[in-house]
DNA sequence: ATGGCTTCTCCTAGAAGA
């Protein structure tokens, strides 16, 4: 089965891209971030027509996450239990697979804007909350995938300019330590389980011809729990939709589980 | 050097994204 994460930067603006991409890539589960719409505006009908049911957790203008699935999603949770949050950033659900139930946790991690800012502190608090909650989620659901827009470039090789951007947003030691702490819970970066082309990124700035010059970051991730590791068959970024007209600034990342 | 784009809204300017 295939599971994908994609920050679409407005589902209203990107609905046709999502429909086109899913039609060409009929993955089992698609985790979306940055819907930027409220649940009453969620395009259930258009998705149903191509075979997907969705559970959504939306918000006006900002944030918003959803799980699209070809099979039912059960036991849906919204945001981080035990962490009060004004923003719609997490939706989790369980799908049945031939190997048993699979917990899928989809997150739109806080951006943080600038180290030292209030928003950066919110990012750190949010990451602490996520970590505590995930410990329990993993205990309850040993087969778990955490995926989404992490807004963290975990290592220097995940940035187009690790020296020039050292200790700037997405690159700070404290953010990277949080990423390592997630791995410490018993999660594994599916992308790094395979040989990948150098300068593999998942996001490119709209400005400065970012995509054309491959000035990007790898900030969209798929982490799998230890029991799933033997089942991971592939993980890759699909740059194709980043080349479409009016693209999202993020590309979809897909993991294949055997 | 800066910002260079795209999205949204209390809508045509400003905030936010990353």
Spatial separation of the C-alpha atoms in residues A167 and A112, rounded to whole Å? 13
* Active-site residue flag, A195: no
The answer to whether strand B lies under 7 Å from the CB of residue A169 is: yes
The answer to whether strand B lies under 7 Å from the CB of residue A189 is: no
Spatial separation of the C-alpha atoms in residues A247 and A135, rounded to whole Å? 35
The answer to whether strand B lies under 7 Å from the CB of residue A220 is: no
State the helix-helix crossing angle for A118-140 and A173-184, rounded to 10 degrees: 10
Beta strand pairing call for A187-189 and A220-225: antiparallel
Active-site residue identified among A52, A62, A85, A149: A149
Confidence (pLDDT) at A144: 98
How long is the CA A135 to C1' B2 vector, in angstroms? 44
The answer to whether strand B lies under 7 Å from the CB of residue A68 is: no
Rg (CA), chain A: 17
Beta strand pairing call for A2-7 and A29-33: parallel
Both tokens of residue A14? 């990107």
Give chain A's residues under pLDDT 50.
none
Confidence (pLDDT) at A86: 93
Q: Three-state DSSP class for A94?
A: strand
Spatial separation of the C-alpha atoms in residues A158 and A115, rounded to whole Å? 19
Q: Three-state DSSP class for A238?
A: coil
Other CB atoms closer than 10 Å to residue A29's CB: what's the count? Answer: 25
Look up the domain containing A70 and give its range: 2-257
Q: Three-state DSSP class for A217?
A: strand
Confidence (pLDDT) at A216: 97
Both tokens of residue A101? 């139930």
* Active-site residue flag, A158: no
- As beta bridge partners, residue A221 has A148
Residue A51, by phi and psi: left (phi above 0), alpha (psi -120 to 50) or beta? Answer: left
**Residue A22: CATH number of its domain:** 3.60.10.10
In strand B, the nucleotides that come within 7 Å of a protein beta carbon are 3-10, 16-18
Summarised one tens digit per residue, pLDDT across range A47-73 is 999 999 999 999 999 999 999 999 999
Confidence (pLDDT) at A92: 98
Q: Are A129 and A106 in contact (CB under 8 A)?
A: no
Residue A73, by phi and psi: left (phi above 0), alpha (psi -120 to 50) or beta? Answer: beta
Both tokens of residue A20? 């086109």
Confidence (pLDDT) at A69: 98
- Please work out, in degrees rounded to the nearest 5, the angle formed at the alpha carbon of residue A71 by the alpha carbons of A65 and A75: 60
How long is the CA A235 to C1' B1 vector, in angstroms? 39
Residue A185, by phi and psi: left (phi above 0), alpha (psi -120 to 50) or beta? Answer: alpha
Q: How many domains does chain A have?
A: 1
Burial letters for A72-90: b for 16+ Cβ neighbours within 10 Å, e otherwise? ebeeebbbbeeeebebbbb
Q: Are A169 and A120 in contact (CB under 8 A)?
A: yes
Cβ-Cβ contacts under 8 Å for A68 (sequence gap 6 or more): A22, A29, A30, A31, A32, A47, A52, A53, A54
């Amino acid at each position: 089965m295939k599971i994908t994460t994609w920050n679409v930067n407005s589902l209203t603006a990107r609905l046709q891209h999502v429909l086109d991409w899913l039609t060409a890539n009929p993955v089992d589960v698609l985790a979306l971030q940055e819907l930027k719409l409220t649940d009453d505006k969620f395009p259930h009908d258009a998705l149903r027509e191509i075979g997907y049911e969705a559970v959504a957790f939306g918000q006006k203008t900002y944030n918003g996450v959803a799980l699209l699935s070809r099979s039912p999603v059960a036991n849906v949770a919204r945001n981080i239990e035990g962490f009060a949050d004004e923003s719609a950033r997490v939706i989790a659900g369980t799908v049945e697979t031939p190997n048993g139930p699979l917990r899928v946790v989809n997150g739109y991690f806080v951006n943080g804007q600038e180290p030292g800012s209030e928003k950066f502190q919110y990012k750190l608090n949010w990451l602490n909350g996520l970590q505590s909650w995930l410990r329990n989620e993993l205990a309850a659901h040993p087969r778990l995938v955490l995926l989404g827009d992490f807004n963290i470039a975990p290592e220097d090789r995940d940035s187009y300019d690790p020296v020039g951007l050292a200790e700037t947003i997405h690159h700070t030691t404290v953010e990277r330590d949080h990423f390592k702490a997630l791995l410490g819970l018993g999660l594994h970066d599916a992308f790094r389980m395979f040989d990948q082309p150098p300068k593999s990124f998942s996001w490119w700035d709209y400005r400065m011809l970012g995509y054309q010059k491959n000035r990007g970051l790898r900030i969209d991730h798929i982490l799998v729990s230890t029991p799933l590791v033997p089942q991971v068959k592939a993980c890759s970024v699909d740059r194709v939709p980043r080349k479409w007209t009016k693209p999202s600034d993020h590309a979809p990342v897909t993991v294949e589980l055997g």
